[in-house]
Structure 1
Amino acid sequence: MSREVDYYILPTDTGSGDYGDYDSTSTTEPDIGFCDKSSVRTFRKYYEPLLYWLIFCVGAVGNLVVIWIYVNVRNRLKTMTDVYLFNLALADLLFLGTLPFWATDANSGWTFGLATCKMVSAVYKINFFSSMLLLTCISVDRYIAIVQATKAQNFKNKRLFYSKLVCVAIWLLSGLLSLPEFLFAQVKTDARDRSSCSMVYWNNDYNRTKILVLSLQISMGFCLPFLVMLYCYTVIIHTLLQARNFEKHKALRVIFAVVAVFVLSQLPYNSLLVVEATQATNITITDCKVVRHFDIATQVMKSLAYTHSCLNPVLYVFIGVRFRRDLLRILRACACGLGQGILSKQNSAPKRPSVMSDTEILSL
């Protein structure tokens, strides 16, 4: 376990990483100056806990409602979109479950031990990657449902089976991508005996390992999902513009909302991660004041990226026709105290037609 002080050698530590300060204990770097980062810790102490708890509460309610509707109202997953949305809600919920630990870490230090540090770090990364990859699968599924509608209808049962295999593959891949957290997450203590859970890379491979970890997060957590979403939704928009359907404008609004929220929440933080990876390759930021501002900006952009787990239920579920109808029925049942009767009527109601509108396909 390394001990961390409030002053850093600029070439070896300039970023704050995913959850706390990345640390290097290498003594081979030239001593060109020290940087006092106590102000960054103070900012994190007062900024992160309240915001993380707010994201946790709002996101937990939304994703729990999604899971509850799937389990108790719909009873089973009937389409590829259902499978992906259920797993997305589960991934977001588990991801949100790590935020109270980071809120406590920011406020009073890490008090949960090394094993919990590694576990929470790994769970955080597993569900981060799985959430991003599931968003990618949802865009592909909507591309198939609209652009390849005939083929999608002919292979409906096979698509449902394949979607379950894809979800298993996503969880396994996310587990592999989280291996750095199992290896490098450590509880480190500073000169004031304050502990924190952070990534501590091995001395001789510090820069190379850090670049690899950041590159995996940027490529698999943003670039791949963004490029796939951009292609799929561009083709979908082209298809809808050629279709004669009065609901296509509603569907287009759904697409623009999905893409805009993804880009606005994820692009700023990933841009800073690119800068951080560049720093590990070739130190360009050597001014202590700039380093502190960069670390604070990273904390702010990171919290903005986390809000996406709160918005997913709204973007992908609650604006959907069927989910909104299910939710309204539940709320009316709770208000009238006739929940059991209304839900039983719902289960006995005739099935909806198999052909759905563009808006429903895009926002189920």
Structure 2
Amino acid sequence: MELFTTAEYETDVYNFTDELIPDTTDYGSESSGLCNKEYVRQFSKSYEPPLYWIIFVVGALGNLLVVCIFTTVRNRLKTMTDVYLLNLAVADLLFLCTLPFWSTNAAQGWVFSQIICQGVSSVYKINFFASMLLLTCISVDRYIAIVHVTEAHNYKNKRMLYSKITCVFVWVASCLLALPDFIFAKVKTFEFQPNSCVLMYSISDKNRTKILVFALQICVGFLLPLLVIVICYSVIIRKLMQARSFEKHKALRVIFAVVAAFVLSQLPFNGYLIIEAAQANNATITDCDVMQSLDMAGQIVKCLAYTHCCLNPILYAFIGVRFRKDLLSLIHRLSCGLGLVDNCKLQPVPKRPSIMSDTDITPVFSL
């Protein structure tokens, strides 16, 4: 841990808060020229811990059910989307395990070691990049399955192999992209203030490193996936509109929900990062009230972005009719195993298409 005095911190006091866990403590008084952020710190202390725990409980329950269904109710993964969904649930569970640490950090400061600070900081970015890349893979797979039905059916076995290779690439790429967070995460200790786990970028290079890290997250983690998703789903919508099916409007509703959830949960936070990157490049905002308002806004949009690990099981699994049937089957099995059901006889799961059929257009996003 490093001990920072007020004088040492004056060099970057007007920078925005650190991107992962906002550094909102009061490092001085107004008379010393520093912005007093005690109100922001109290706001974070009262608001973030309960919200983190809600996200943790809801997200853990949903993603654990996804993993259990894929590993128990079903004999094997049948489509590329099944593979991506399982990896997506694992990525979300990995991130959810870090939320108790961040809840503790917001409530009472960082009480853990430096290596844990580096670990949980990098795990967040691993989840961020892995989730966005996997959601992009799902949209591409749905595009192939719906728009190029014949080719998708003819090369089904090869596509399964490609999906596993793609998942390995996604995990490796996410770990590499998260390296800056592992390197720059530090436990900072200030005089008369609680410790804090934050990202400490070098100010000797005029914040170029910080700007580069933000640009990487915004472009690779949001803008590029969003572009691919919008293109894929635009073509899918056009294809479904041409299909003669009374259920096509249900399919369109789910597609719009998928895109809307992606944008609504990630756009505000990435917009905030753009402002923060601009501030790091040219610190034009020095008004204390404005800085406090932006700090609190950053905390809110960050928590909103974290909710994606709760939305994914709902949007990509639980709205599917087949998944709900598998969920009921899992509940039935658990009830039988616990002896809660009399005269229980476990029935084999009937063979049926996967959660998202590769050859049937309408049930792909069935409600």
Residue 28 of structure 2: aligned partner: none
Q: TM-score by structure 2 length?
A: 0.90
Give the Å deviation of 1:38: 1.7
Q: What one-letter code is carried by the residue in structure 2 that aligns with 1:34?
A: L
Check 1:355–1:187 CA distance in 2 against 1; reply closer, same or farther (3 A cut).
closer
Report if the CA contact (8 A) 1:317-1:363 is conserved: no
Kindly indicate whether residue 363 of structure 2 is the aligned counterpart of residue 360 of structure 1.
yes
- Where in structure 2 are the equivalents of 1:116-131 lying within 5 Å? 116-131=116-131
Kindly indicate whether residue 25 of structure 2 is the aligned counterpart of residue 18 of structure 1.
no
Residue 142 of structure 2: aligned partner: 142
Give the Å deviation of 1:40: 1.4
Residue 306 of structure 2: aligned partner: 306
Check 1:205–1:340 CA distance in 2 against 1; reply closer, same or farther (3 A cut).
farther
Report if the CA contact (8 A) 1:63-1:93 is conserved: yes
Distance in 2 (alpha carbons) for counterparts of 1:305 and 1:60: 16
Moved beyond 4 Å, runs of 4+: 4-12, 332-336, 338-342, 352-356
Distance in 1 (alpha carbons) for counterparts of 2:270 and 2:95: 18
Give the SS at the match of 2:297: helix
Give the Å deviation of 1:283: 1.7
Give the Å deviation of 1:273: 0.7
Q: TM-score by structure 1 length?
A: 0.91
Give the Å deviation of 1:216: 1.1
Residue 195 of structure 1: aligned partner: 195
Kindly indicate whether residue 61 of structure 2 is the aligned counterpart of residue 58 of structure 1.
no
* Aligned residue pairs, count: 356
Gaps of 5+ in 2: 26-31
Give the Å deviation of 1:42: 1.1
Give the Å deviation of 1:328: 1.9
Distance in 1 (alpha carbons) for counterparts of 2:342 and 2:285: 60
Report if the CA contact (8 A) 1:20-1:196 is conserved: no
Residue 35 of structure 2: aligned partner: 35
Distance in 2 (alpha carbons) for counterparts of 1:363 and 1:93: 26
Give the Å deviation of 1:189: 0.7
Check 1:144–1:279 CA distance in 2 against 1; reply closer, same or farther (3 A cut).
same
Q: What one-letter code is carried by the residue in structure 2 that aligns with 1:282?
A: N
Residue 100 of structure 2: aligned partner: 100
Measured against aligned partners, the alpha-carbon deviations of 1:150-185 in whole angstroms (never above 9, x if no partner) come to: 111110000000000000000000000011112100
Q: What one-letter code is carried by the residue in structure 2 that aligns with 1:251?
A: A
Residue 114 of structure 1: aligned partner: 114
Report if the CA contact (8 A) 1:11-1:286 is conserved: no
Residue 75 of structure 1: aligned partner: 75
Report if the CA contact (8 A) 1:272-1:298 is conserved: yes
Report if the CA contact (8 A) 1:53-1:99 is conserved: yes
Residue 329 of structure 2: aligned partner: 329
Residue 156 of structure 1: aligned partner: 156
Residue 205 of structure 1: aligned partner: 205
Give the Å deviation of 1:270: 0.8
Residue 245 of structure 1: aligned partner: 245
Report if the CA contact (8 A) 1:60-1:93 is conserved: yes
Distance in 2 (alpha carbons) for counterparts of 1:22 and 1:145: 48
Residue 29 of structure 1: aligned partner: none
Measured against aligned partners, the alpha-carbon deviations of 1:271-324 in whole angstroms (never above 9, x if no partner) come to: 111000111111221211000100000000110111111011000001112111
Q: What one-letter code is carried by the residue in structure 2 that aligns with 1:209?
A: T
Distance in 2 (alpha carbons) for counterparts of 1:197 and 1:339: 53
Give the Å deviation of 1:15: 2.9
Give the SS at the match of 2:137: helix
Report if the CA contact (8 A) 2:15-2:283 is conserved: no
Gaps of 5+ in 1: 24-31
Distance in 1 (alpha carbons) for counterparts of 2:126 and 2:353: 36
Check 1:40–1:18 CA distance in 2 against 1; reply closer, same or farther (3 A cut).
same
Give the SS at the match of 2:207: helix
Check 1:352–1:236 CA distance in 2 against 1; reply closer, same or farther (3 A cut).
closer
Give the Å deviation of 1:203: 3.4
Considering only aligned residues, what root-mean-square deviation do their CA atoms show, in Å?
A: 2.6
Kindly indicate whether residue 20 of structure 2 is the aligned counterpart of residue 3 of structure 1.
no
Report if the CA contact (8 A) 2:143-2:236 is conserved: yes
Give the Å deviation of 1:119: 1.0
Report if the CA contact (8 A) 2:187-2:198 is conserved: yes
Give the Å deviation of 1:338: 4.7
Check 1:82–1:341 CA distance in 2 against 1; reply closer, same or farther (3 A cut).
farther
Q: What one-letter code is carried by the residue in structure 2 that aligns with 1:313?
A: P
Distance in 2 (alpha carbons) for counterparts of 1:4 and 1:292: 21
Q: What one-letter code is carried by the residue in structure 1 that aligns with 2:119?
A: M
Report if the CA contact (8 A) 2:40-2:295 is conserved: yes
Give the Å deviation of 1:148: 1.0
Give the Å deviation of 1:202: 2.1
Check 1:22–1:177 CA distance in 2 against 1; reply closer, same or farther (3 A cut).
farther
Report if the CA contact (8 A) 2:84-2:163 is conserved: yes
Report if the CA contact (8 A) 1:10-1:33 is conserved: no
Q: What one-letter code is carried by the residue in structure 2 that aligns with 1:18?
A: L
Percent of aligned pairs sharing the same letter:
57
Distance in 1 (alpha carbons) for counterparts of 2:323 and 2:163: 20
User: Which stretch of structure 1 is more off in the superposition, 328-337 or 39-48?
Assistant: 328-337
Give the Å deviation of 1:333: 4.6
Report if the CA contact (8 A) 2:56-2:99 is conserved: yes
Report if the CA contact (8 A) 2:24-2:38 is conserved: no
Distance in 2 (alpha carbons) for counterparts of 1:99 and 1:55: 8
Give the Å deviation of 1:346: 3.1
Distance in 2 (alpha carbons) for counterparts of 1:322 and 1:131: 23
